[in-house]
C-alpha cells in the first residue's frame, strides 16, 4: 500500500499560513475577517453540534458559543500534518490546538483540542469546506469568558 499523500512543501506552507491567519481571527473574535476563508456551504461539527451545513449556521451555533468565551487560541503548527490531492486541488490538515477556557468564577484553565480541516482551492485561495474541531478528553466543554465580538 502506498504511503499517505503528504502535501508538497508549497501546499503545506499555504495551509499552515491559512491556519495561522484563521487562529488570529479566532483570538480577535473577528468573524468578518474569518468569513472569506470558509466556503459558504461548509459542513462542520464540533463541541456544540453534530453535522451542520452552512457558514452562517456554523457561526451562530459554534463560533458564537466558543470564540467569545475562550482566549489565546492557536494551532500547534509544528505538530500539524498536511495531506493533499496529487492535483493540488484539495488538502487536509490534522492538527492539535490550544486555548484558554474560563470557569464560572473566572479562573483560567487549559482548553486543548484537535481538528481535522478539509480545504478546496477556490481560484488561488484555500477555503475550508469541512471542519471537525473537538476538545481533548476530560477538558470541560463549558467556558464562561465574555469577550466582545470585534466584527460580524
Is pLDDT at 97 greater than 80 in this prediction?
yes
In a domain, 145, yes or no: no
In a domain, 23, yes or no: yes
In a domain, 27, yes or no: yes
- The mean pLDDT of 96-106, rounded to a whole number, is 97
Q: Identify the domain containing residue 74 by its residue range.
A: 9-135
* Residue 104 cell numbers, joined: 464560572
In a domain, 76, yes or no: yes
pLDDT at 53: 95
Is pLDDT at 59 greater than 80 in this prediction?
yes
The overall average pLDDT reported for the chain is: 95
Is pLDDT at 45 greater than 90 in this prediction?
no
Is pLDDT at 49 greater than 80 in this prediction?
no
pLDDT at 47: 67
> Quick one: what percent of the chain has pLDDT higher than 90?
91
In a domain, 1, yes or no: no
In sequence order, what DSSP letters do the residues of the chain get, joined into one string? -----BPPHHHHHHHHHHHHHHHHHHHHTBHHHHGGGEEEEEEEEETTEEEEESHHHHIIIIIHHHGGG-EEEEE-GGG-EEEE-TTSSEEEEEEEEEEEEE-TTS-EEE--EEEEEEEEEETTEEEEEEEEEEEPTT--S-----PPPSB-
Sign of the torsion angle spanned by Cα atoms 44, 50, 51, 52: negative
pLDDT at 6: 96
- The mean pLDDT of 73-91, rounded to a whole number, is 97
Number of domains composing the chain: 1
> Quick one: what percent of the chain has pLDDT higher than 70?
97
| CATH number of the domain residue 37 falls in | 3.10.450.50
pLDDT in tens, 109-137: 999 999 999 999 998 899 999 999 999 99
In a domain, 141, yes or no: no
pLDDT in tens, 12-33: 999 999 999 999 999 999 999 9
Amino acid at each position: 500500500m502506498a504511503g499517505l499523500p503528504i502535501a508538497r512543501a508549497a501546499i503545506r506552507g499555504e495551509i499552515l499560513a491559512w491556519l495561522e491567519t484563521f487562529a488570529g481571527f479566532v483570538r480577535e473574535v473577528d468573524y468578518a475577517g474569518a468569513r472569506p476563508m470558509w466556503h459558504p456551504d461548509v459542513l462542520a461539527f464540533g463541541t456544540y453540534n453534530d453535522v451542520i451545513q452552512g457558514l452562517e449556521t456554523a457561526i451562530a451555533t459554534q463560533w458564537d458559543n466558543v470564540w467569545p468565551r475562550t482566549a489565546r487560541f492557536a494551532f500547534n503548527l509544528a505538530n500539524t500534518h498536511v495531506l493533499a490531492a496529487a492535483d493540488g486541488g484539495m488538502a487536509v490538515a490534522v492538527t492539535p490546538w490550544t486555548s484558554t477556557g474560563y470557569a464560572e468564577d473566572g479562573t483560567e484553565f487549559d482548553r486543548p483540542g484537535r481538528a481535522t480541516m478539509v480545504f478546496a482551492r477556490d481560484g488561488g485561495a484555500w477555503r475550508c469546506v469541512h471542519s471537525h474541531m473537538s476538545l481533548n478528553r476530560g477538558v470541560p466543554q463549558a467556558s464562561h469568558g465574555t469577550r466582545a465580538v470585534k466584527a460580524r
